[in-house]
Amino acid sequence: MSGLGPLTVRELKKWVRNPIFFVTNLIQPIFWIALFGSAFDITRFFPGASTSVLGGAPNYITYIVGGVLTTMGLFTAMFAGTQIIFDRRLGPMGRFLSSPIRRSSIVFSKIISSVVRIMPQVVILIVAAYLIPNGLKFVHGFTIIDVLVLATAIVLVAFIFSSIFSVIATRMTNMNSIFGIVNLVNLPLMFVSYAMFSPSMMAPWLANVAKYNPVSWSAEAIRMVIINGSLTASQWTQVGQWLGGLAILAGVLMLLTAILVEKEIRD
Amino acid sequence: MNGTIIETKNLTKVYNGKIKAVSDLNLEIKEGEIYGLAGPNGAGKTTTINMLITRIAPTGGTATVGGFDIAKNSLAVRKLIGVVPQDFTADEDLTGRENLMMVSQFYDVPRAKAQENIRTLLKLVDLEEAADRYVRTYSGGMRKRLELIIGLVHEPRILFLDEPTLGLDVQTRMQMWNYVKEIQKRLNVTIILTSHYLEEIDELAARVSIIDHGKVLITGSPAELKTSLKGDIITITLSDQQSAELIKTIPDAVEVTDAGQNTVKIKVVNADDSLPAIINFISQHKLSTIKLTVVKPTLDEVFLEYTGRSIREEEGGMDRMKVAMNMRRARR
């Protein structure tokens, strides 16, 4: 009687049935990788120094794929909360609250469905990055382990940010407030991280702050496996730390979401 | 079969420590009846319902629904009841049937059973043909009907109907009344109905409580309440003041009052019996009447008597806006 299943199915139906929402979601990764890959290409600013700033990546696209994947997960996840406000405004929330379902299911259905929505975006982005000229190159191969690291990192990022923004949304009645907050933090979260640039290229204070940004952890973990293929023991420790950090943060936030929502969600 | 299914004892809800929405409310609702809650906006009807359906917690008193305490055992209460709130709750981007199925799943109704219930209910409110259309294509009346059966998919023992016909046109309202009667007869649920439309409560409810300022003013069957007013009202306008004075001396009037120029209001026990006597009196004294009206009390008069104001004065404002919004949403 948790209600999580039917509510998640509802979210996904709404996504698949809305052609504009569905198609833009799927085209977005192609745009991002093509545009970001060109716009921020740091090797153009420092000709000759390319391999050192790219941490061993053969080109910039290969370097930023992890960053773009993470940012895309971040952006999609941040909007998970908006549906909660729509449900409150348009009526379905009243039905959910008078049903014997767990109240946290209302929020978790948004979180899970946004994670599901991100998955095809990940696949499309990787394929697009691979196909564009001077695109993604797997110098040291691409194994199932790389796929697992990549998927774990993105899923955890999506869980982290969708739960933060869902909890915020449960306390809001106005759509503009949540859009305001999303716009306030989306670009800072992206640029104050190692998603697009390496720490050596950033102002020292910025690089220091970026160290604590989960977007950096995910971007670096994905980058590590994509650039190096099979990792050394010390590289594995590093990836383990990043993913571990993401997992702990996601776990704590999910728990917090469950507790807060069970008490706080209302009309 | 005629046990008490809902009982409130001094049920109270105070908002922000000062606004008393419901104050020491006592109700006793019997299994299987349609029970009306009438009262102006802000009287505490919706707050009372919201407490009984465990959407909000009371700040004082107790209540049991189907034997379960609303504060201590809210989950058990929620499983037992069906709710049709004032606002539309169906998801516009799903079909009618999908909405019904989703809510069935909230109550863990087995799939085959749910499909069967849904078919029966769709048929009951004539929505079979529209069942697989998106709800956003429904008219206002269709949406109300859908809401009605969404509240019934899990075969609740008690159904809360909050303003089921708010914003509907007269024909659609009468149609809704038939559906409600049919549901009560066929499914044998207890129905708690709130409405501004007193004729609606008169038509549907076996018993009614008039609520104002969060308190029950009077409870009884609509017929009892009307009888409690002791009489029908005959209003006569005559050609001159002298005639008007003369008619005041009429025998067997319960109460006679002036009601404007040359106009007299006569309260009698039963207009059907008294009218011939009045007509005889008029012809005996060769009075010339300009206008004569007979009003049998409706619940509106009862309401006026007990709350000191007409329920119609209470409509408008926010409420009308809400209706307009809902209707727009329904049409879009």
pLDDT single digits (tens) B264-290: 888 888 888 888 888 888 888 888 888
HSE, side-chain direction, 13 A CA sphere, residue B199:
6
Mean pLDDT of A178-185: 88
Query: How close A108 gets to chain B, by Cα (Å)?
Result: 15
Query: How close B260 gets to chain A, by Cα (Å)?
Result: 49
% chain B with pLDDT above 70: 92
Query: Is the model's pLDDT at A264 over the cut of 80?
Result: no
Residue among A3, A14, A93 minimizing CB distance to B106: A3
Chain A residues with CB within 8 Å of chain B CB: 1, 3, 5-7, 9-10, 13-14, 17-18, 90-101, 267
Tell me if residue B162 falls in helix, strand or coil: strand
Instruction: Tell if the CB–CB gap between A1 and B93 is shorter than 8 Å.
Output: no
| Torsion (CA) B249, B250, B254, B260 in degrees, nearest 10 | -70
Query: Is the model's pLDDT at B187 over the cut of 70?
Result: yes
Residue among B55, B98, B102 minimizing CB distance to A98: B55
Closest among B61, B68, B76, B78 to B27, alpha carbons compared:
B61
pTM attached to this predicted model? 0.80
C-alpha distances out from residue A53 to A47, A49, A105, B56, Å: 11, 7, 45, 58
CA atoms of B197 and B194, how far apart (whole Å): 9
Question: Residue A51's pLDDT is what?
Answer: 65
Q: Which residues of B fall within a CB distance of 8 Å from A1?
A: 79, 106-108
In B196-246, at which residue ranges do the beta strands (DSSP E only) sit?
A: 207-212, 215-220, 232-238
Give the pLDDT band of residue B312 (cuts 50, 70, 90): low
Query: How close A117 gets to chain B, by Cα (Å)?
Result: 18
Closest among B6, B151, B173, B4 to B77, alpha carbons compared:
B6
**ipTM for the assembly:** 0.84
CA atoms of B282 and A4, how far apart (whole Å): 75
HEC secondary structure over A26-84: HHHHHHHHHHHHHHCCHHHHCCCCHHHHCCCCCCHHHHHHHHHHHHHHHHHHHHHHHHH
Mean pLDDT of A122-134: 88
Domain ranges of chain A: 4-264
Mean pLDDT of A194-222: 88
Among A12, A88, A95, A110, the residue to mutate for chain B (most B Cβ within 10 A)? A95
- Domains, chain B, ordered by start: 4-226 (3.40.50.300), 230-296 (3.30.70.980)
Question: Residue B227's pLDDT is what?
Answer: 78
Query: Is the model's pLDDT at B327 over the cut of 50?
Result: no
Question: Residue A247's pLDDT is what?
Answer: 96
